[in-house]
Structure 1
């Protein structure tokens, strides 16, 4: 069995700073979404890929993969959003066991109203804190970290359709 190396003080501080920054940035962005657009972070996470998809519709499986959610979490969120008229589920023509999620007109209005302020918040609380060179470096570093992670798709089966 491989022996686990502990984190030295510098590594522990870096890891904690990353966790704190992620938590606080997420809290700030989600709070602003709720206050200014009446959408939760989960609502926005789901509405965004639908808003840029062809015809505003995605296979449930593809939507779940695009946001990194398990099938049950996605299903519960879609149900909540259906009740609010933001999305609808449809049968998958190519596989009767699966489903599609379609953005409604109300969902499109909601994401289009929320997006400008959300982008402004991302810019002011994240991107503007870094120089262009730091942004490029951070993108390169995050790409490297992501490339070494196991794929979620292989570990977590999502909807068939």
Structure 2
């Protein structure tokens, strides 16, 4: 994945501004920026994206499933064929001429893009801190080199 904003992504303008150093925030003395938060956001965004792709694969497998066992192979059970068709199209687009994007696979793709944009935004901000603060840079790099596994999707591993 590149450090450039995805064209047309939901946060594309913010990412571009962050890369140019044009974002600013006024923090009170009670708020501190630390490398741990940036490193863990990076790790967990990757884990979320991996989990989304895993779920999309499941949705695709559902849409491609040949036999459902609902009687769809019986000519007299026309409603069974309709139910199977509906299940398939809700999992992922089967027929682009008639199926809508209101399905699990496409909805997950929207989530993927949002997580990817959030990751890119945080990465761009972290890069600005790394360039400006040696202590932040050292801690961030140390954390990234020794990052524990994300709990996201852990129950599926």
Q: TM-score range by the shorter chain?
A: under 0.3
Larger Rg: 2
- Which TM-score applies when normalising by structure 2? 0.28
Structure with the largest fraction of helix: 1
- Which TM-score applies when normalising by structure 1? 0.27
Structure with the largest fraction of strand: 1
